[in-house]
């Protein structure tokens, strides 16, 4: 996620935000290896998901269609876009899908190969991509916030309901609740916007916690979307899944 509009200058590390060994959902808080994060996401989703996560390094693409999409873009945007596509191909390859150009849909969504589902996120330094098979999950969204203090609490009313502050603030006492809620909702948008076929307002999304599990509901829609928040050395990573039975 990029929060330039509401960015603050503070740079508290996640290790400061999540001191001690207390875990979320029974897991240790700090998970530094992509492999371990992938394992947690597989456990959470009950699906064989493939996660690729690394520093943003790519300034170009071998695919003309991707270069075309970035023709007018500034260097920073080109880097995050091309690095995201590069990571996506790594994840697709690991998952056994064709390695190909990844077009962009009308909602800004990546167009995955047939039967693949996935999600891309990038922040200032790192990017992450998750890919799976549509027979296992109908949709997935991920979001990375490298510095949770970037999310300005002054704009919280644009995306957070008052009860969410209470529910999630007590659940993650060491993280700014605004960052947790914002990131979860961004991941929800990525998991479902293609299914509903339109842009979404984050206030349409309502987060609840039941039996220690976070889930999202959308105004007027039947979806029930499980969500997870993982503190990693890359930053705060959230994921949401749309199960096939939704």
Taking Cα atoms as reference points, which of 220, 225, 229, 142 lies closest to residue 181?
A: 229
Q: How far is the CB of 209 from ligand COA (least distance, A)?
A: 22
Q: Does 30 bind ligand COA (CB under 6 A)?
A: no
Asked if 44 touches ligand COA (CB under 6 A), the answer is: no
How many Å is the maximal CA-CA distance in the chain? 48
Nearer to ligand COA, 149 or 193 (CB): 193
Task: For residues 54 and 37, give the distance between their C-alpha atoms in angstroms, rounded to a whole number.
Answer: 13
User: Quick check: 116 binds ligand COA (CB under 6 A)?
Assistant: no
Q: Is 69 in the site for ligand COA (CB under 6 A)?
A: no
> Does 122 engage in binding with ligand COA (CB under 6 A)?
yes
Contact region for ligand COA (CB under 6 A) — 80-88, 172-180, 207-215, 226-234?
A: 80-88
Residues 176-235 that bind ligand COA (CB under 6 A): 186, 189-190, 193-194, 199-200, 202
Q: Does 164 bind ligand COA (CB under 6 A)?
A: no
Count of C-beta atoms within a 10 Å radius of residue 64:
9
* Nearest distance from C-beta of residue 56 to ligand COA, angstroms: 10
46 backbone φψ class: left, alpha, beta (φ>0; ψ -120 to 50) = left
Q: Residue 108 or residue 173: which is nearer to ligand COA going by CB?
A: 108
Name the segment binding ligand COA (CB under 6 A); options: 102-110, 130-138, 167-175, 227-235.
102-110
Residue 113: burial class (beta carbons within 10 Å; 0-12, 13-18, 19+): middle
Work out whether 121 is an interface residue with ligand COA (CB under 6 A): yes
Residues that bind ligand COA (CB under 6 A): 1-2, 80-81, 84, 107-110, 119-122, 143, 186, 189-190, 193-194, 199-200, 202
């Amino acid at each position: 996620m990029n929060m330039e509009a509401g960015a603050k200058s503070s740079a508290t590390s996640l290790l400061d935000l999540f001191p001690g060994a207390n875990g979320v959902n029974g897991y240790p808080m700090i998970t530094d290896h992509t492999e371990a994060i992938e394992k947690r996401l597989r456990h959470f989703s009950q699906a064989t998901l493939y996660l690729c996560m690394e520093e943003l390094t790519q300034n170009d693409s071998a695919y003309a269609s991707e270069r075309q999409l970035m023709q007018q873009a500034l260097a920073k945007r080109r880097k995050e876009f091309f690095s995201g596509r590069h990571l996506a191909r790594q994840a697709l390859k690991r998952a056994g899908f064709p390695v190909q150009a990844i077009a962009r849909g009308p909602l800004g969504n990546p167009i995955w190969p047939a039967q693949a589902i996935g999600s891309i996120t990038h922040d200032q330094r790192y990017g992450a991509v998750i890919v799976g098979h549509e027979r296992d999950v109908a949709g997935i969204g991920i979001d990375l916030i490298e510095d949770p203090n970037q999310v300005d609490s002054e704009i919280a009313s644009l995306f957070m309901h008052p009860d969410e502050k209470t529910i999630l603030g007590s659940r993650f006492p060491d993280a700014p609740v605004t960052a947790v809620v914002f990131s979860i909702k961004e991941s929800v948008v990525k998991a479902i916007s293609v299914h509903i076929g339109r842009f979404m307002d984050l206030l349409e999304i309502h987060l609840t916690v039941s039996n220690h599990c976070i889930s999202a509901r959308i105004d007027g829609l039947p979806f029930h979307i499980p969500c997870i928040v993982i503190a990693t050395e890359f930053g705060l990573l959230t994921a949401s899944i749309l199960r096939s039975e939704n």
